[in-house]
Structures are given as structure tokens and as C-alpha cells.
Chains A and B, each alone.
Chain A
Amino acid sequence: MDADSVFKALADPTRRRLLDMLRAQSGQTLGELCANLDMTRQAVSQHLGRLEEANLVTTIRRGREKLHYLNPVPIHEIHARWIEKFERSHLDTLRHLKAKLEGEHRGQA
């Protein structure tokens, strides 16, 4: 699962919309997803295929139905690679600031 396929899959507004729909309600069928999109079944199916290739959507077979789930793990991997480190230093700065201000406040009291 390379980052390229994740970014390519996310670069399309319809595919992001599909992810939003699955976040709101997991385990939807193709039919359920189509009902809320003004698009042919085939086009929706192709978009879902791209999302599945990028591992952003995972599917489970239930009898004759195929249920779709949002899989946030690849996005978390991207987050961990580029963002988490910076967030941590921001959080540390805020924590130090809080400790400093609270210390000063206690000093005054």
C-alpha cells in the first residue's frame, strides 16, 4: 500500500464524498451508496474500486451482499509519517506555557 495510491484515490471529490458517506454509516452496499449519488452504478463501482485498491475502503461479503467500510489505517500512516512529530512539539510548547503560567499564578497567590 504505497502513499501514491492513497493520494491518487483521495484526489477525487466523488471518492472523498464516498468516504464521508461510509464514515457516517459503515457497512453500506453499492446500492445504498448509489442512492445518494447522481451517478451511474458503474461509475460508483469504479470509484469504490480505486478506494479499495488504496486500502481506504475494505469490503466484507455477507451472503450476496458486499458491504463497504471506511478503513482509516493508511491515512493514519500518512499522519504518523508527516504530522505527528510536529504536533508533538506544539503540544509540548503548550504544555510548557501552561506550566509556566500556572507556576507564575501560584507564585502570585
Chain B
Amino acid sequence: MDKPEFVYVTYISAPPEKIWEALITPEITRKYWQHENVSDWKAGSRWEHRGADKERALRLVGKVVEFSPPRRLVMTWAFPSDEGREKKHSRVTFEIEEVRGVTRLTVTHDRLEPGSEMLEGITAGWPKVLSSLKSLLEVGRPLPKLW
């Protein structure tokens, strides 16, 4: 039984559908994440995380494990150089639930290798991404450039 390594929670004043849409729509992810999450979003499909600038560099890849809108999205999460090595893939679970009139978004990132570059990157990364998403959905404006 694996313990999750990181659990991030944010409460957003927006309906679950809006948050779901914001996770999987490239035109929206680019606004608050400066990257696009690209996939056909079927369980088993590949997904890509690409820079939203001209170079469109491929930063992360993985598989869509579970796609249950607008509640639960599970994906594997790896550097492109590790795509062929499934043992090195970490896992991200997004859970969306309504709690007392607001929506709770929980991001769990687990199966991380201790001391890995991925572990270092996400420690600073997720709080920024989630704050920026919250700001975009509530105020209509994401946080200034994250990276």
C-alpha cells in the first residue's frame, strides 16, 4: 500500500464542471499554467504537457488512467525521457467535490521517487498552479507568469 507523497487542497468558488474544464482544455490551461494539457482524454490514451509558447516544448507525458467528469481524473506523469520506463512514472489524481457551496479540488501526487527531479519540481509547482487556477476562476485573472 503506497502512501501519497503530496496532497494539495484548494477551495474554489466555481462549479465542478468549470474546474474540470480548466484541467483538460488547452486554451484554459495555457492561461493559468502557461502549458497545455493535450489528449483525447479517454482512459488509456496518452496525454502531453507542452509549453504554450512558440516552441511548444514537450515537458511531461503520461497515460490517462481514469476519466470520470467532473469528479475524478487520474493520470500518470513522467518526463518524456522516461516514457518507456513505466516504473519511473509518478501518478496524479485530481478529485473535485462540492463542500458547503464551494468546490474542493484535491491534487494527490504519488509514486514519486525520493530525491528525483520530479519530486523537487512539484514541491514548488503545484501550489503555484492551484493558486493561479483559483485566481483565474474566481477573479477572471490568473497569477502573473509562474515559471
User: CB distance B7 to A55 under 8 Å?
Assistant: no
Q: Is B78 an interface residue (CB 8 A)?
A: no
**Bound complex: CA of A81 vs CA of B108, how far in Å?**
25
B26 shortest CB reach to chain A, Å: 24
Question: How many A-B residue pairs lie within 8 Å, measured between CB atoms?
Answer: 53
Whether A72 pairs with B8 at a CB distance below 8 angstroms is: yes
Interface SS of chain B: helix, strand, loop or mixed?
mixed
A binding-site residues for B, Cβ under 8 Å: 1, 26-27, 55, 58, 60, 62, 67, 69, 71-73, 75-77, 80, 84-85, 88
15 of the cross-chain contacts (CB-CB < 8 Å) are A1-B11, A26-B4, A26-B6, A55-B10, A58-B7, A58-B9, A60-B7, A62-B1, A67-B3, A71-B8, A72-B8, A73-B8, A76-B127, A80-B128, A85-B144
A69–B144 contact, CB under 8 A?
Answer: no
Q: With A55-B9, A55-B11, A58-B106 known to touch, is A76 a contact of B4 (CB < 8 Å)?
A: no
What count of chain B residues pass the 8 Å CB interface test? Answer: 21
- Residues of A close to B11: CB separation below 8 A: 1, 55
B127 near A84 (CB under 8 angstroms)?
Answer: no
Looking at the assembled complex, report how far the CB atom of A76 sits from the nearest CB atom of chain B, in whole angstroms: 4
Let me know if B5 is at the binding interface, CB within 8 A: yes
Please give me the residue from chain B that is nearest to A23 by CB atom.
B123
* Contact for B4 among A1, A69, A73, CB less than 8 A: A69
Is B136 interfacial (CB 8 A cutoff)? no
Which of the residues B3, B134, B144 comes within 8 Å of A77, measured between beta carbons? B134
CB distance from A87 to the nearest CB of B (A): 11
Q: Which residues of B contact A (CB under 8 A)?
A: 1, 3-11, 106, 108, 126-128, 130-131, 134-135, 143-144
- B6 adjacent to A84 (CB under 8 Å): no
Least distance between B84 CB and chain A CB atoms (Å): 29
Chain A residue nearest to B134 in the complex (CB) = A77
Is A80 within 8 A of B130, CB to CB? no
A60 touches B143 (CB 8 A): no
A69 contacts which chain B residues (CB < 8 A)?
A: 4, 6-7
A85 vs chain B, min Cβ distance (A): 8
Q: Give chain B nearest CB distance to A91 CB in angstroms.
A: 12
Chain B residue at minimum C-beta to C-beta distance from A69: B7
- A67-B3, A73-B131, A77-B131 known; A84 vs B143 contact (CB < 8 Å): yes
User: Whole-angstrom distance between the alpha carbons of A84 and B128 in the complex?
Assistant: 11
